[in-house]
Amino acid sequence: MLDRLPARGTLLNTLTVVVGSLIGLAAGGAIPANWEKTAITGIGLATLGIGISMFLKSKNPLIIVMAMVFGGLLGELLGISPGLDHLAEFARSALGAGSDFNAGLVTASVLFCIGPMTLLGCLEDGLERKIELLGLKSLLDGVASVFLAATLGIGVLFSAVVVLVFQGALTALASPLRGLREKPELLAETTATGGLIMMAIGCGLTGIHDFASEVFLPSLAMAPLLTLLWQKIETRTSPKPSE
């Protein structure tokens, strides 16, 4: 019965974020402040490490530079950061939540939705009905949401809605996105771009610097497109073998 459930990996991931957030909110007052800070710093450092490992998968760093620059500029033109802030503020006002709601919602949403496990897991779920990768991601997100919710508040709980919508959409679009999994060069540059966004999140969690990481989300779409364009340019400019 459960095997026939559509997007069951995403549903599991959403559930673990909800449960983890509820545990974190319930235990938030009982967790010493220095413990919370240490836990968040640990998550931030792990995020930085994961981001670096993702970035190192790039075969052409120049593509990543262009993807981040053009994607960031597109994000500014689209008003992604203020748009998310307005949306979070609307939800905060409607729920009567505290001032940390926006930061919790945006930080957790970007953290939970960026990375190769999200993309590959959703593709596997949509194409092959396999949820092992999303199952592992669900466990990691559930643990992280406990400490994020304890520190950043109820906004982390509502990031579960973003996880449900975003990953559900990726699973539904698995067939059109099949090429990302079948072409390693596209996946490598997309993963590397996501790694830089993960590093930006890690810097914010550790207190190094608070980047508006969400503004770079269009870079994830830019990376495979620029890779394809680069391949076409190389094909046209490469010398043809003499006949």
As a whole-number percent, the residues of the chain with pLDDT over 90 amount to: 38
Alpha carbon distance, N-terminus to C-terminus of the chain:
61
pLDDT digits (tens, 9 = 90+) for 55-79: 998 999 999 999 999 999 999 999 9
Q: Measure the CA–CA gap between 49 and 181, rounded to whole angstroms.
A: 23
The count of residues in the chain is 243
Cα angle: 109, vertex 212, 70; to 5 degrees: 105
Exposed, middle or buried by CB within 10 Å (0-12, 13-18, 19+), for 206?
Answer: middle
Find the range with the poorest average confidence among 5-14, 24-33, 55-64, 94-103: 94-103
pLDDT digits (tens, 9 = 90+) for 78-107: 998 888 888 888 877 877 777 778 888 888
Backbone angles phi, psi at 2, to 5 degrees: -70, -25
Cα distances from 62 to residues 51, 69, 203, in angstroms, run 17, 11, 22
Any idea where the domains of the chain sit in the sequence?
7-231
For tokens 């710093």, the residue is 41
| DSSP structure class, residue 238 | S
- Chain-centre distance of CA 30, in angstroms? 29
The pTM of the full predicted model, rounded to 2 decimals, is 0.82
**170's tokens:** 């990726």
Number of Cβ within 10 Å of residue 6's Cβ equals 12
With the CA atoms of 41, 43, 49 and 53 taken in that order, what torsion angle do they form, in degrees rounded to the nearest 10? -160
Q: Measure the CA–CA gap between 198 and 202, rounded to whole angstroms.
A: 6
- Chain-centre distance of CA 216, in angstroms? 11
242 has pLDDT over 60: no
